[in-house]
Structure 1
């Protein structure tokens, strides 16, 4: 049995040291890392094969690897340059920094508070520490909500990148189409000018009335007016493309190197729709918004609780005496009813917005697919049915005119139909580019194009006059010269043919600027 004098009273625990160690351990808890530009870049790389730079200078133009102006800008290069330099998109990317700051703030614990009471007569001095203990179990809820918001921001910016790519590709297609329209308009001016010259010669010979000659002359002037108007469409559309690419301040030429339009192919629109509903970035962002709203509702139901841990130190007879204490909220009147109601409304709005986004995705995919199929079907009719008929009509008109059976205006009218046919083909090729860009944006990824299908009908050779020399073939719009009426000598109407299939690269000088080439 131990002697009473050997018995040692248990020493009071050092609650201040214990509390300090606990707080230090809690302060070491780190929130999950927030997505940055790398996350958005990975999104776009997996979907469409393009990247986003980690940071660019606002006052400089940064060219992505492989992009250059000197050898002509392809469609993919235009998209890559836009993702690196478009001011509005770069402004949106700053939201990642805001989301990162919110996530860091959500993971921080509040600082403990210190209170000191000066000693007075008959009242010993006292000091205490208090710490809101509820912050410990509320922290994971706050972090979860902020992390969901950060993921929603990254998905939303990935969708903004897809939208920018769609806009750039459609603007690129508009510029290519405008240049084709300028070429066809030039050919139309030459053709109608030759008609007007022929009419003047026939008027002088007394074969037609002044009214007929005036009609031909007015038609030629209207064609010149149309060509003048169409000529200004190219710089206007180029300015829009420059703006989307973020190179509007650069005033050098903008040479384009367009590729052929995508070949027509068949897709399962319903399968694309289901895939887009599950994987498109705006659908993912809507789902993240719902999860964040659910986390905020949970926080609203618990966040009103105040539960403070207090460590009190008071001077005693011998030394300071530390004692723990608790202070908590008694929920008699305020249980955050208003905050809970607001959180419930925000959750309902997020759920309904998710349904709205889903409906928009269905509309986008189905509509863009139908528009793409419409352009393909119309182009097929144009090339397989209309084009052969027009070319056959030209050959018949040329042969009849050569034999003296029809007037020259019949042959010229047939040639004008061929010009209109080539213009319509250029418009349909532009539609294919635009609808293909919209279809890929609607699906949320790059669709693999099929190899160019074999021609459904053998290509027809352009109409050639029977008497043309083999070493000097005329244009497809030329008319024969042997059987011209004695009152007017018929000469070639058009000197060059329009390209019926793919736009040719536009030759231009090198740009008069030196952009900064940045590293990804």
Structure 2
């Protein structure tokens, strides 16, 4: 991890709004740790896994027997008492199909938990780098205000001494006011991103003053073909694939329901008038003449087919997202290289040349301010590109589930 500093001597400009020693600095690792620990979305997904465990346990339970007691005649001398126990018998593999469906549902819940974790990590990482960029932009804006203020003061003194025109002094004041407005917007954006990150971490307001700027440029990701291969194990696609299995299992549950349950009755009948007891054996078999669960079977099969179509559609959409993010990352990294090797050094040299020329009396102060503004704009472009690179990298990580 290398510190985010401007190349070729540009580190002379401070990137932190206030001295580091007086600040509470948040790192990406600590932000992720706290956010994952306090995430309500992850907690909810974990509870769904626990609920699925309960459903799996219930699916394996056998049906309870039923105790029946019948009295015929209220007189004890002629009373007939019948006691039976009805034992439901599930046929056609109903219990096994029910357990299999519950197990698939548990797998889906676990995959959803992994997907939620991956997406939440992506959100926190993106929010963290948004703070990094806003923090750097805030520092650049403060530097621009300082430069514009000093330039306006110099032009005002030169105009008072008759060495510069009032028009030039007015232009310097306008420049200063515009830079101050930009600084106010940069400060508001910095505060907004800090609160957004704090919210993801479970805090009502930021408990940190700044984030660590010790971050590298977005590292290149594998080629698209390799990313597409990793897509097979991505949490989002895994969840969709397991959902297809769950729907197929539910269709099997509905198919087994077409086989009617048989109820076996075992008991005894006591005839007080005759003074004897008789064994009672019964068998109850529903006749599937009208309801063979055909509608539910059709519904379950169609929903299973829809889940397969949804998985295919998701696979295609994720592949498109990977292609887009991979392309954006490649362009951003190439732009960063050009900015670091060509644009920023050239802007720095132009600013230094303008400053030396101003000291030698060859350039006016507005020329110096213009060169300084060009340098600051180049740095701002660098920050925008750096943020775009990290967003693209984060999108790739979110899709493949890193």
TM-score when normalising by structure 2: 0.85
Higher helix share: 2
CA distance in structure 1 between the partners assigned to 2:91 and 2:25 by the alignment: 59
- Given candidates 331, 353, 371, the residue that maps to 1:414 is 371
Give the drift of 1:219.
Answer: 1.4
Evaluate the alpha carbon distance shift between residue 196 and residue 247 of structure 1 in structure 2; reply closer, same or farther with a 3 A threshold: same
Larger mean Cα displacement after TM superposition, 354-363 or 70-79: 70-79
CA contact (8 A) 2:67 2:85 kept: yes
Report the counterpart of residue 95 of structure 1 in structure 2: 48
Evaluate the alpha carbon distance shift between residue 394 and residue 258 of structure 1 in structure 2; reply closer, same or farther with a 3 A threshold: closer
Mark the runs of 5 or more structure 1 residues left unpaired by the alignment. 1-69, 446-520
Which digits, 9 at most, give the CA deviation of each residue in 1:266-294, with x for residues without a partner?
52112112211x21112111111111111
Report the counterpart of residue 341 of structure 1 in structure 2: 298
CA contact (8 A) 2:49 2:109 kept: yes
CA distance in structure 1 between the partners assigned to 2:251 and 2:26 by the alignment: 50
CA contact (8 A) 2:27 2:212 kept: yes
CA contact (8 A) 1:75 1:258 kept: no
1:427 partnered with 2:384: yes
Alignment of structure 1 residues 333-482 onto 2, 5 Å: 333-445=290-402
Which digits, 9 at most, give the CA deviation of each residue in 1:323-347, with x for residues without a partner?
5432212111111122122212221
Report the counterpart of residue 9 of structure 2 in structure 1: none
CA-atom RMSD, angstroms?
Answer: 2.4
Report the counterpart of residue 296 of structure 1 in structure 2: 250
Report the counterpart of residue 113 of structure 2 in structure 1: 157
Give the drift of 1:112.
Answer: 0.6
Give the drift of 1:159.
Answer: 0.5
Larger mean Cα displacement after TM superposition, 387-396 or 155-164: 387-396
Give the drift of 1:199.
Answer: 2.4
CA contact (8 A) 1:86 1:243 kept: no
CA contact (8 A) 2:155 2:365 kept: no
- Given candidates 91, 100, 111, the residue that maps to 2:64 is 111
Report the counterpart of residue 186 of structure 2 in structure 1: 230
Evaluate the alpha carbon distance shift between residue 347 and residue 93 of structure 1 in structure 2; reply closer, same or farther with a 3 A threshold: same
Report the counterpart of residue 16 of structure 2 in structure 1: none
CA distance in structure 2 between the partners assigned to 1:159 and 1:135 by the alignment: 38
Which digits, 9 at most, give the CA deviation of each residue in 1:285-321, with x for residues without a partner?
1111111111111121221422212224234778544
Which digits, 9 at most, give the CA deviation of each residue in 1:23-61, with x for residues without a partner?
xxxxxxxxxxxxxxxxxxxxxxxxxxxxxxxxxxxxxxx
CA distance in structure 1 between the partners assigned to 2:365 and 2:354 by the alignment: 9
Give the drift of 1:156.
Answer: 0.6
1:141 partnered with 2:94: no
Report the counterpart of residue 3 of structure 2 in structure 1: none
CA distance in structure 2 between the partners assigned to 1:360 and 1:246 by the alignment: 31
CA distance in structure 2 between the partners assigned to 1:351 and 1:242 by the alignment: 39
TM-score when normalising by structure 1: 0.67
Give the drift of 1:145.
Answer: 0.5
Evaluate the alpha carbon distance shift between residue 234 and residue 196 of structure 1 in structure 2; reply closer, same or farther with a 3 A threshold: same
CA distance in structure 2 between the partners assigned to 1:90 and 1:315 by the alignment: 59
SS at match of 1:409: helix
Report the counterpart of residue 286 of structure 1 in structure 2: 240
CA contact (8 A) 2:26 2:208 kept: no
CA contact (8 A) 2:32 2:124 kept: yes
CA distance in structure 1 between the partners assigned to 2:111 and 2:219 by the alignment: 31
SS at match of 1:406: coil
Report the counterpart of residue 244 of structure 1 in structure 2: 200
Residue correspondences, number: 374
CA contact (8 A) 1:110 1:135 kept: no
SS at match of 2:26: coil
SS at match of 1:334: coil
